Chains A and B, each alone.
Chain A
Amino acid sequence: MHLARGVVQAMEAAARLAPDPVGPVVPDPLSVGALLTGDARVHPDDLVQRVASLFFDRPELDAVALVAEDRPVGLLTRGRLLLKLARNFGHELYARKPVTRIADLAPLALPSDTPLAVALARALARPAATVFDDVIVIADDGRYLGHSSFRELAQHQGMALQRSGLEREAAVARARGLEELERVRARFLAHATHELRSPVSAIAALAELVRMACERGNLDQVRAKVPMLLRASATLRGTVNNILDLSKLEAGRMDVAVGPVHVSTLLDEVATLARLLVGDKPVEVSVDAPHGLVVETDHHKLRQILVNLASNAAKFTDRGLIVVRAEADRCGVRVAISDTGCGIREDDLPRLFVPFGQLEDAHTKTHAGTGLGLAITRSLASLLRGRVVVQSRRGEGSTFTLELPHAAVPEEATR
């Protein structure tokens, strides 16, 4: 409150001091042209005597410009004039007189705890001739502590205003970030709840139908329901595992066990799984990996990443090819899983790795899955000091590439 009031006062005082804009052109209020405080001019040939009397006649005059043919060629401030004259002219007059004869005997003196904005406002409220003079600072008991230049006060006030603006911006940004986080959390919870409850609901309904069939002694109906019960249980188990995995990953509680992993063997295994998942669809799955390529990483986690990516490829590819390819160079190992599937719209790419991103847009929720697979894949990759990148074109297919260092030894594993 204090600060705001002081700022307003200071600005009002400054407005009182500022002269009307010079000339017919109204300058931009943010440019120096809007901050003119005078337009006094003398000719370079004018005598000092005449200029000095000009200053003495006009106490509000701070400075005059030396102007020849409308071009400024020099500047003479009141301070400089007085300094120059003091040695000769002034010396004659005052040298043997007390200093009180030439000093301001009613200077602005402020207690040391005066807020900056108030001090500045008080300083600006002084008469024009002394408005830029130093401000005397006194203690509570009136003792002299020192003085502060007007320039110093103004500079600090400017910085304080800038700082408070920045601080407010930072606070607003922080609040927005928290709101966004809360929104994401609530959305995650709503999705997780639904994805967990849905198979539970199915299991409960199926169990009730089985009970009814048993009561009627209809074994055929019991037999028909049991596979559905098992499928719903498997879905539930998968969702629970995924949610727990993601929670563990995000809480940094996932253990990493590093050891040598034979990449080509693992890729063969992943390809076999992809072939199983492809089923009857006309999709060929091939592996292209150098023999003997070994990477130091967590076998189980790497397998989980590649299985996730290969399952997605199998799920979204109806015909064509899935290629699992590995290569190594000085930087590390890259495993790419390319498919000729439906591809991903460019608009959907940013939320691809967001938990339940698939559910966000009902149009894309045409395939089974919890929508946690890629979120987990990305978190697992960074746990292994790597990353997953995606290239895709709607209608043409996708390539997900896992980039890993040769020795994916995370900090936790070295402890």
Chain B
Amino acid sequence: MSARKILIVDDDELHLVCAKELLEAEGYEVIAHRTAFGATELLIRSRPDLVLIDVNMPALSGEGLIAILRRRVHATGVKLFLYSSNDEDALRSAAERLDIDGYVCKGDPDELRRKVGGALAAGRPRSA
């Protein structure tokens, strides 16, 4: 079975590099992208299993990007997660409001591994 694929969209290069390395160490194939622009095309082209999206990005915020991605994602079953340094409560309610698969708070490598691992565990179809 080929490695599960993860797309990370984050304007902060340091966070991008860290998340990429942490997840690659778990055996995932990771694609890093530094802006919300082009993320849709990349999503279609690279067909990831999961997308981590930063909230505070210039020009197009993570929430704005998700609004655009959502329609395509429903068809493919790709999982969407917010990935941010924002307050956890704010992230949780944003994830609920956007009706996506969840959120990961930056700064806790264990949480990142656990949540991504859980979401991709059996590749089970997306459910509530």
Contacts and interface: CB of A to CB of B under 8 A. Distances in A.
Contacts, number: 67
A190 B87 contact: yes
Interface string B83-97: 011110010000000
A204 interface: yes
Contact of B107 (A201, A228, A359): A201
Given A193-B87, A198-B85, A362-B59, A209 B107 contact: no
A166 interface: no
A130 B57 CA distance: 77
Interface in B15-70: 15, 17-19, 21-22, 25, 56-61
Contacts of A364: 58
A212 B56 CA distance: 28
B90 A197 contact: no
B22 A197 contact: no
Interface string A381-400: 00000000000000000000
Contacts of B15: 198, 201-202, 205
Contacts of A231: 14
A206 B59 contact: no
- B interface, over-half SS: loop
Nearest to A191: B56
B12 A198 contact: yes
B24 to A, nearest CB: 11
B106 interface: yes
A364 B59 CA distance: 8
Contact residue range for chain B?
20 to 34
Contact of B60 (A197, A206, A359, A362): A362
A232 interface: yes
B117 interface: no
A369 to B, nearest CB: 13
A321 interface: no
Contacts of B84: 194
A408 B2 CA distance: 70
Interface in B78-112: 84-87, 90, 105-109
Contacts of A232: 14
A200 B109 CA distance: 12
B120 to A, nearest CB: 20
A198 B14 CA distance: 10
B2 to A, nearest CB: 24
A197 B56 CA distance: 13
Contact of A209 (B21, B57, B60, B87): B21
A163 B36 CA distance: 55
Given A190-B90, A193-B87, A205 B106 contact: yes
B86 A193 contact: yes
A208 interface: yes
Question: Which 8 A-B residue pairings sit nearest by Cβ, starting from the closest?
Answer: A201-B107, A205-B18, A201-B106, A197-B85, A198-B85, A208-B109, A204-B107, A365-B58
25 contacts: A190-B87, A190-B90, A194-B84, A194-B87, A197-B85, A197-B86, A198-B12, A198-B85, A198-B106, A200-B107, A201-B85, A202-B107, A204-B107, A205-B19, A205-B107, A205-B109, A208-B22, A209-B18, A209-B21, A209-B22, A231-B14, A232-B14, A362-B59, A362-B60, A363-B59
